[in-house]
Homo-oligomer: A and B are copies of this chain.
């Protein structure tokens, strides 16, 4: 249930809830787009006769909330409807919630059990905790390259290196992330839409963070044509230039390091906006810059079974690695064949 919500719940975590009575599932819920209603309420809302809930058990992937935010506390509703037991996979690390909800439920006479539902739930919750507590959103780098690691010919042709299945799965990754970072090089060369073009998921195009250090991008680019998403433009605090105004665009000043926007500041700003999942689709310089700052948590690498040779454009720009022991090391998590392409997923070591 929680997995259904990934990418849509920002700034809230994706949570799943199931209501069970006498061994029968009464309803299933998950955090709704934008974060409300919460999973527990979504599950409750699906039961017409609320009286039936009395004595039921509630399973939650994360401790229900007990504070007033956009919504009133879930625990109040749980107590009001007389659930007899709540089974929680993990306590919330949010200081506003942590263990307080459990205490409140128990005080109200409801049995509470903390029981690990498995690794997948832990991974989901960790993304939320990392961004909430450590201001460290999950950053996923997506690469689509030839077998020899090239993302375009030297004349910047890249349509298409990977096959249509890979590209569809690529769009799926867009739907699973709340926002994307993109460099001006890629925008200028490809003029991409950067939306999610999967049937049924068209409304899940991620918000956009554009690194436009010198504010050179023109208004008539395709990315500015999509109105139902937020766009943030990061530019250098050294640039004194007029910014153009579009309704859905905000500008954020960033300090420079070695004539590049400070990537750590960039991520900090994104984190301040409470995004928890960021997708990076290149280009090569942006990827290198993030790698050099050890900011990449995950890589999803689509590899076509084609070879381009050394004059193609590299997936990753110069990392200035002078010793083989200093290569950027990742852990191979999974590998999948997509027709004649290959998808490998790596995680930070």
Contacts and interface: CB of A to CB of B under 8 A. Distances in A.
B309 A318 contact: yes
Interface stretch (A15-23, A153-161, A167-175): A153-161
A140 to B, nearest CB: 15
Interface stretch (A201-209, A240-248, A253-261, A331-339): A331-339
Contacts of A164: none
A309 B305 contact: no
A309 B321 contact: yes
8 contacts: A157-B323, A291-B307, A305-B331, A308-B327, A309-B317, A332-B340, A332-B341, A332-B342
A315 B306 CA distance: 13
B328 A307 contact: yes
- 7 shortest interchain CB distances as A-B pairs: A149-B149, A309-B319, A310-B314, A306-B327, A307-B328, A157-B324, A148-B149
Contact of A307 (B147, B148, B327, B340): B327
A316 B327 contact: no
A309 B332 CA distance: 18
A288 interface: yes
Interface residues of A, number: 52
A346 interface: yes
A301 interface: yes
A51 interface: no
Given A148-B314, A311-B320, 18 more contacts: A146-B327, A147-B149, A147-B299, A147-B301, A148-B315, A149-B314, A155-B322, A158-B324, A306-B327, A306-B329, A308-B321, A308-B327, A309-B319, A309-B328, A310-B316, A311-B319, A312-B321, A335-B337
Contacts of A309: 288, 291, 314, 316-321, 328
Interface of A: 145-150, 153, 155, 157-161, 284, 288, 291, 299, 301, 303-312, 314-324, 327-332, 335, 337, 340-342, 344, 346
A308 to B, nearest CB: 5
A147 B149 CA distance: 7
A332 B339 CA distance: 8
Contact of A342 (B305, B316, B317, B335): B335
B310 A318 contact: yes
A297 B316 CA distance: 29
Contacts of A308: 316, 319, 321, 327-328
Contacts of A344: 147, 303, 342
Given A149-B147, A335-B342, A306 B318 contact: no
Nearest to A291: B307
B153 A323 contact: yes
Contacts of A305: 329-332, 346
A144 to B, nearest CB: 12
Contacts of A306: 327-330
Contacts of A303: 344
B321 A310 contact: no
Contacts of A314: 148-149, 309-310
